[in-house]
Amino acid sequence: MAATWDPLYGVPHLGSVRSVQASTEAAPAAADDGLDMAQVDAFNLYLKAAGGQTFTGVGLLLAYLYEAIRGTWVRCPGSDVGIPDGANGLAEFAISPLLIRSMRGRLALICNGVGVTGGSITIDFICTGPGGVLAQ
């Protein structure tokens, strides 16, 4: 299954996106994959297992950055996000907040060995705008 990326409408910041992924995915490829970091100061992550499934508390979200000038996705290991042990047995959990240090380019967090009892994983990136104000 290839990761999908879609805008989240009706949330406080128009940059918010939803990604649906398998427990392990390939690196992003399209220039419009991931979260557009323009006008985003921070984001919260909400992870949800497919209906009736739970997380096992293992795995990583591997970080990739895309810069239009370079035109390629590049691994950014310093921004990887670990799945917390406390997620074991949960159907849904949050990781917050994650700060954006540079408001340019795109960021994709890609599942790598994320433990679920079955099915896909939905990841919502809920963004806040400049100065922490929820922008519309």
Looking up residue 94, the CATH number of its domain turns out to be: 2.60.120
Q: Is residue 134 part of a domain?
A: no
39 contacts 59 by C-beta, under 8 angstroms: no
Residues in the chain: 136
Q: Is residue 30 part of a domain?
A: yes
Instruction: Write the pLDDT tens digit of every residue in 15-69.
Output: 899 999 999 999 999 999 999 988 888 899 999 999 999 999 899 999 999 988 9
pTM to 2 decimals? 0.91
Q: Is the dihedral of CA 59, 86, 108, 78 positive or negative?
A: negative
The pLDDT score that the predictor gives to residue 1 is 78
- The whole domain housing 73 covers 13-128
* Phi and psi torsions of 55, nearest 5°: -85, 155
